[in-house]
Structure 1
Amino acid sequence: MSTGTRTLRRSIRAHGGRILAAAALFVGYQTGEALVPVLIGVIIDRATAAGDARSLLFWLGVLLADFAFLSLCWRSGMRVALFAGVRADRAFRLAVTGRLLDERGTAGAADLPAGALVSIATADVRRMTMVNFLLPHGVAAMVGAVVAGVALVIVSVPLGLLVLVGTPVLLAAARWLAVPLERRAEQQQDRAAHAAGVAVDLIRGIRVLKGLGVEVAGRARYRDVSRASLAATLPTTRAEAGHTSALTALTGLFLALVALVGGRLAAKGEITVGELVSAVGLAQFLLTPLTTFGEIIAALAAGRASAARVGAVLDDEGRVPAASARTPAGDSDDNSDDSGDGGGHLGTPAREKIVLSGVRGPGLDGVDLTVAAGGLVCVVTTDPAAATTLVRCLAGEAEPEAGHILLDGTPLGTLAPAAVRRAMLVPPHDGSLFEGSLRENIAAGRPGDVTRAARAARADQVAAALPGGLDGAVAERGRSLSGGQRQRVALARALHADPPVLVLHEPTTAVDTVTEMEIAAGLRELRAGRTTLIVTTSPALLTAADQVVLVENGRVTATGAHDALARSSAGYREAVLA
């Protein structure tokens, strides 16, 4: 079973009760609709032709009751079906979002741009869950076609058999015509998601593009991906139009055949005038369920393609392998920051230490490194790839090709991701800010006073420049702040979290030298007694470290104080002072 089919079935099963209830109500509606031409035929034959006024009034009352019944069923069915679609849409949006935020991380989804992920969580989920809304209509249309066929059998056996045999043939033709539509819909959705991703990236970087004067290149890039998306959309639209027109033509020919057979039977006197009216009315009624079949089959084609994309995200096993529920020896419930005093553990001694043994990966060739518990260690790499690999391995975003990493004596890969994140924080180098106040960005949902963390990261200078200070407004993604200001706020947020182990990657690249020295002093003071590892080439941070480790050609080649390494190692001087 394909991923798309499995995910689609999951959506249907989760809301099966509402779908069945809506289907039952729509069956009532379709049955009432099918009875309308039958009742009109009865009125013609038994009341009008006979001239019986009482019989006419009776059957008119029956027809009025039928209209009231089918109207009530329609309104109630639409309400229940709408809930089946809306609730499924909400549930899967939350599921996709939750999976992207899951502690295991993502593997395949991580390679998709943000815009593509938004497209999956919105457009693809909407197309997939639309099936929940349309499915009851399909069930009711099928029952309506059967009811019409049975009614025609009662009127005339040849007409009834023609409908009962012809309807499955039309359904098979509609499904066959939808095969190319499904294939093209999948291609179109992939291209549309890529275009959305590029658009989001360009909007995020619009200030950079303007600063570099390359807006034309940015527009050209989006124009290219937009044209590719259009090139995929046009065949899909043509396939949809071809599917609809072909199905309409087949349906029209089928109904014409029913009318022709009915007319010949009436001409021969085998059916009455009222029965002929009923037969033509039933044939006309069949147009609605047959059209509904075509719409549902087209929706299923698009829904299955979208469901495959949604299922790929939900089934993503993540970058972090399955781990036990063990926690680091130094991590316990007491380490959770719920004291309410804003970094209630600031300055509290911690036992966590980091040990890297024979770690290999891009840029690393058997690194052995120990960061003592409570120590402040800086790592200098002559190869940027080595720094990236080191940080990614510590963050759990990648597994070492060889060797292992121990957190307080326990292999990192055997620990539950949630336990690792409680014990060790590895914030991203380009930490994003959120729309809200400066205080809210630093606190990031954690209680307590953010003043100490803000002062240590010199985010207090950012607060001083904002109307309202710490309560001043920050635009989405921090667009209202400069690069250096955003970097200080992100560092303050990491310091306020006060994890037992903090790993930073070049946290001061966008600030001036004086501010960098103040941050180094504040970071050392605030993290006293807490394990801190900084991958950096900043002389200010290196001077504040207890120990500096130099990694050259993928291996640790020297350790010591910043001043000593600057005097003794040419490679160190080139990496730090050049």
Structure 2
Amino acid sequence: MRQGDAPSAITQPDRQWTAGDVIRFAFRRVRVQAWLTVAMVSVHQVCEATTPVLVGLALDGAIADGSVPGTLLWVAALAGVYVVLSLCGNGAGPVGTRAATRAGHEVRQAIVARVLDPRGLAKQRPTGETLSVASSDAAVVGETVDALSTGVSGFVALVVATVALFVTSVTLGFVALACVVVVVFVAPLLARPLQQRSEAQQEAAAHSAAVAVDMVEGLRVLGGLGAQRNAAARYRVTSQLSRRARIRAGAAEALFEGVTSTIGGFLLVAVAAVGAFLALDGDLTPGQLVAGVGLAQFLVEPVNRLSYAGVFAATVRASAQRIADLLNTPHAVAGPALSADRPPLAASLTVSGLIGEHLRGLDLDVAEGELVAVVADNLAERAELLDAIGRRREPAGGTVLVGGVPAEALPLDVLHAHVAVIPHNSSLFTEPLPEVVGDNPAPYLAAACAEEMAALLHDRGSVHFGRNLSGGQQQRLSLARALAADPPVLVLDEPASALDTVTEAAVAAGIRTLRRGRRTTIIVTSSASLLAVADRVVLVQNGALVAEGTHTDLVADERYAGAVLS
């Protein structure tokens, strides 16, 4: 992906999200499919509740009298109920799955839009944690469709079956109602600790994923340092914490399901026992007894459905809250992110009185078409300067002018299209070479001394973030990509640190030839080869500009020599 090609994202208005907002957002485009799934599953459950009633009516109305036509009529009614039951049960699956997938996708799009927002995140999260939220948590929120259909259908079936029991026998109806009331009051009490443990489990899983991603990304470094064993021990600790958190959440889930299932079992036993006594006393006909026991047996399923819905609702709320926390992360910088206008700007950059944690009134003025090198031996000062130019963080004081316009007055897409700040460690993607450096890659590959990689990368590009390339090849390809973006103002951070002296000198000459006098370039570096080709070099120490001139002129300055030649 070229440096200038920012991925399009769904922009959401600034707002404070809650877990409920996230769930409602997930359903904004699948509302019809979700409620269709609920309706179909509810009809399925009502048909199942109707079955024992029809059997009881057939037993009393036709079978007991020996009426063959009557019996056939009831059989036909049961067959019709089963046809509807089957159609609704089998049809709800595809509709619900499609709705759940789309709902999860909607949430994932919102997460990606927030992460890729040009205004950035004030609180940086580990890559693995963000990946966990965007994948597993978004999928869980999408599965709310299943929890909704299960819970609503369970409630509908419970009401229908209880009413049918009241019609069959008021006594059996009150027995069933007592068990339902117990479920209604007990379920919320058990769901509260389940939600807390689900939140803890998902936090632990996200942390474990973050450690795993860090290990995979830094595998080569770990190997070079011989620190594989320490890294493995760290991951072992985090994974064990995640495992124990999952066990605690599973115990709470099992308790919830066990208690509600036990209540359902007591319901069946109570209705069957009471029904048997009523039948012996002659208060119930055989058909009513069959219908009552069948309904009681069926009632175990809606009770279990409500149990499952309660368990899953706790998990969904925990995931939705984690997503809301990410979406509520404050922006690193203020101001608009996007603009419909792209005003023409001069390719000049002025930093005036920049103040930060490590900067003390830094001044820097770069004219259009100039190639300026900045020497800053303090890494923290360098990072603050680059963050201020690229508006990744707001400085404590001072201004940055781009083409004479304050940077904070420019929408971020306009600023980033005009000023490209390339980090020292740039990510590479699996994409063909034309997607990296355009259809005419020759001048950019030549300037970055990366011609030998053209054949290797032409069809499929780099693999696994460039891990099939050496460190020097990665750096040269990243530089070629930055040069191909051809921004009016290009800021490079140590673009040749992984190269040998000969290649470094060739890259310095290539950058000068390609951009000097045509585009503005700022190189933050201590490389003598890059400093030698700059029109002007500035030395930053103690957070301020202390010297400037050509590389040849500044070599006699002890401060400069100590920073560059030591």
User: What is the TM-score when the length of structure 1 is the normalising length?
Assistant: 0.91
Q: What SS does structure 2 have at the residue aligned with 1:120?
A: helix
Amino acid at match of 1:553: N
Aligned partners of 2:564 and 2:341: how far apart in 1?
37
Could you tell me which of 172, 180, 188 is aligned with 2:193? Answer: 180
Q: 1:434–1:441: 8 Å Cα contact kept in structure 2?
A: no
Could you tell me which of 512, 534, 549 is aligned with 2:500? Answer: 512
Partner of 1:371: 366
Amino acid at match of 1:292: R
Deviation of the 1:78 alpha carbon: 2.0
Could you tell me which of 427, 436, 440 is aligned with 1:442? Answer: 436
> How does 1:347-362 map onto structure 2 within 5 Å?
351-362=346-357
- Map Cα deviations across residues 426-482 of structure 1 (whole Å, 9 max, x no partner): 122101111244x14632xxx43111111001111444xxx5464475221111111
Could you tell me which of 373, 377, 383 is aligned with 1:382? Answer: 377
Deviation of the 1:168 alpha carbon: 4.0
Deviation of the 1:326 alpha carbon: 8.6
Q: Which runs of 5+ in 2 are unaligned?
A: 1-15
Q: 1:327–1:416: 8 Å Cα contact kept in structure 2?
A: no
Q: After the TM superposition, which of the residue ranges 241-250 and 277-286 deviates more from structure 2?
A: 241-250
Q: 1:382–1:575: 8 Å Cα contact kept in structure 2?
A: yes
Could you tell me which of 80, 84, 88 is aligned with 2:95? Answer: 80
Amino acid at match of 1:330: P
Q: What SS does structure 1 have at the residue aligned with 2:117?
A: coil
Partner of 2:252: 239
Q: What SS does structure 2 have at the residue aligned with 1:356?
A: strand
> How does 1:54-93 map onto structure 2 within 5 Å?
54-93=69-108
- Map Cα deviations across residues 117-148 of structure 1 (whole Å, 9 max, x no partner): 11111111111111112212211111111111
Amino acid at match of 2:395: P
Amino acid at match of 1:566: V
- Map Cα deviations across residues 40-89 of structure 1 (whole Å, 9 max, x no partner): 11121112211111111111111111111111111122222222111112
CA 1:376–1:76 in 2, change beyond 3 Å: closer, same or farther?
Answer: same
Deviation of the 1:322 alpha carbon: 2.2
Q: What SS does structure 2 have at the residue aligned with 1:476?
A: coil
Partner of 2:10: none
The reply to whether residue 481 of structure 1 matches residue 449 of structure 2 is no
Deviation of the 1:116 alpha carbon: 1.3
Aligned partners of 1:378 and 1:484: how far apart in 2?
21
> How does 1:31-430 map onto structure 2 within 5 Å?
31-108=46-123, 111-323=124-336, 325=339, 330-331=344-345, 351-430=346-425
The reply to whether residue 455 of structure 1 matches residue 443 of structure 2 is no
Aligned partners of 2:178 and 2:259: how far apart in 1?
19
Could you tell me which of 2, 20, 24 is aligned with 2:39? Answer: 24
Aligned partners of 2:48 and 2:494: how far apart in 1?
71
Q: What SS does structure 2 have at the residue aligned with 1:169?
A: helix
Could you tell me which of 489, 495, 499 is aligned with 2:487? Answer: 499
Amino acid at match of 1:387: R
RMSD: 1.8
- Map Cα deviations across residues 195-252 of structure 1 (whole Å, 9 max, x no partner): 1111111112212222222221121111121112122222111111111112212222
The reply to whether residue 532 of structure 1 matches residue 521 of structure 2 is yes
Q: 1:382–1:553: 8 Å Cα contact kept in structure 2?
A: no
Could you tell me which of 544, 554, 564 is aligned with 1:565? Answer: 554
Aligned partners of 1:177 and 1:406: how far apart in 2?
59
Q: 1:328–1:410: 8 Å Cα contact kept in structure 2?
A: no
Deviation of the 1:15 alpha carbon: 2.0
Deviation of the 1:306 alpha carbon: 0.6
Aligned partners of 1:168 and 1:380: how far apart in 2?
75
Partner of 1:347: none
Aligned partners of 1:261 and 1:383: how far apart in 2?
84
Q: What SS does structure 2 have at the residue aligned with 1:271?
A: coil
Deviation of the 1:103 alpha carbon: 2.1
Aligned partners of 2:88 and 2:458: how far apart in 1?
57
CA 1:468–1:503 in 2, change beyond 3 Å: closer, same or farther?
Answer: closer
Amino acid at match of 2:85: L
Identity %: 39
Amino acid at match of 2:436: I
Partner of 1:550: 539
Aligned partners of 1:285 and 1:171: how far apart in 2?
18
